[in-house]
Amino acid sequence: MPAYKAPLRDMQFVINDLLEMEQHYRSLTGCTELSADTLNAIIESGAQFSQEVLAPLNRVGDEQGCHFENGKVTTPDGFKEAFRQFGADGWQSLSVPESEGGQGLPSSVGMIVNEMTGSANWAWSMYTGLANAPITCLLAGGSTEQKATYLPRLLTGEWAGTMCLTEAHCGSDVGLLKTKATLNADGSYSITGTKIFISGGEQDITENIIHAVLARIEGAPKGTKGISLFIVPKFLVNDDGSCGDRNPVNCGAIEKKMGIKGSATCVMNFDGAKGFLLGEENEGLKIMFEMMNQARIGTALQGLSLGEAAYQGSLTYAKERLQMRSLTGAKNPEGGADPIIVHPDVRRMLLTQKAFVEGSRAFLYWLGQLVDETDFGTGDEVSKKEAEDLLGFLTPIAKAFVTETAFESTNHGLQVFGGHGYIADHGMEQIVRDTRISMVYEGTTGIQALDLIGRKVMGSGGELLRVFTKRVHKFCEANKENPALSPMVEKLAEVNREWGELTVSLGEKAMQNADEVGAASVDYLMYSGYVVFAYIWARMALVADQKINAGSQDAFYKAKMLTAKFYFDRLLPRTKAHAAALLSGAENLMTLPESDFAF
């Protein structure tokens, strides 16, 4: 099993050199001041918890899984104790405002910690991640009384939570949900219906579970306009904050899954359970929207976390495993064979992993900054609007592209091990299985692609795309004379221009046939992701070049430059295939009659 070690050197590069986080935090208001020393202490403490407490439980969770009997779920050994320690140490309340009982730190700090806990043990981290669902909903739409009732114990980790959106017949189309809410005489509601795929819906870790539930009040409009949001506790809460009567919400089954087996994925039955409306009737999605955006970025973080875990495992193995001789002569003449890291194809896989993982880290940490700016920024309205536009445009790219490339990376990690990668003892096949769900969670790649091209690009008349491409253009103009960067900048400028041309062409086709949007959407998103990563890697290369020119002898910066070159030479050319595919049109997809999809 790979021994996880937090990648502190690369994290510090992104935080300090690339994003200048300390200066960023000084520009925020409404959150606790955060110095570089304090941030370093938080990260190092999070690394220690992840490495020493969570990583040893990762294989335990996969081998033991969760067990369901008589409506009760038993989680793997050690999960409960780790969850309690996480809460007691204050991690759950890190990015909650001080006025609501939290520590008031920007959400980007929580993202950094969550990367490490996720790499160490993603299945376990699902329980803490889902505890944030009712917290976020309460902060967005809860009354003073509701927040006082639920937040204190959610923030200490005494209670956990879920988000209950999905139903068997509707999947991501929540407008079709059937769960009903009936008003009671005391102002509460009776919630009746069944939700599926509810992570942590039942567990033996906490004494109470607070469910955030979407339901339709009787007489409400059909579709998404008639959806309301409710808090439904497993145990009703007494006036003194203790657990009272059992609410009729029960787990009917847990799913047998491909991966993340330590996380209980539940079928939840609400049989007239007492629920409490958050916000106004029929405005549940407005409150839920903030949580869903966070969840999409959180799922992208799953890709980063597990991609990092796979890279660490394959890199360690490639340095130690002796097999065959180098094509250019023995590199380990005293041994019977050379370490496989000398072979070009193994290096291709390792560099692909490295480029995607480090690119994902820089990209997602930057999105964390944008979230901070939208929540706590002190800039003018134009600056805040730009941050909001960038965040809205980039979120579907982050969720889909980072998870797609993470799955590729984890498969490379398994492949480096050869046949040993397929064996459970080495832990690589678990990482592949645990990563696969990330492309499905919070809307599949196809749904994210439609959101990007339909709502964000076409829906804004191309304005959101231009907000980003203008930024890229300014970067290219500023750095085109830099001899170390000019080959990268030239390629970046080319795909940046082509991106706009492809969008115009696709828009013209879509005016004649709306299916053109759906047919091109995933290729368009993947093209977009490669361009975004090119911009990110060019920025990292610029910083590394500046450090080298300033006299740094740190090999880390040279490695950044070489990895950036690999990205532009080997991975960015994939845009050509995606461009050709998205321009090929809808006809090659839609003309085959349904009856001819035969077997």
Beta-strand relationship, 208-217 and 180-183: parallel
Q: Which of 453, 566, 452, 542 is nearest to 489 (CA)?
A: 542
Q: For residue 292, which amino acid is it?
A: M
Beta-strand relationship, 265-278 and 228-233: antiparallel
Local structure of 440: helix, strand or coil: coil
Q: Which helix (H) or strand (E) holds 80?
A: helix 79-88
**Taking the CA of residue 426 as centre, how many other CA atoms within 13 Å lie in the half-sphere pointing to its CB?**
20
Six token digits for residue 415: 């492949």
Q: For residue 279, which amino acid is it?
A: G
Q: How many residues does the chain have?
A: 599
Q: For residue 528, which amino acid is it?
A: S
How many of the other CB atoms lie within 10 Å of CB of 335?
Answer: 10
Give the CA diameter of the chain: 84
φ and ψ of 159, to 5 deg:
-120, 155
Residue 399 and residue 300 in contact, taking contact as beta carbons nearer than 8 Å: yes
Residue 528 and residue 520 in contact, taking contact as beta carbons nearer than 8 Å: no
Annotated catalytic residues are: 442
Bridge partners, residue 265, by sequence: 199
Residue linked to tokens 């991609």: 307
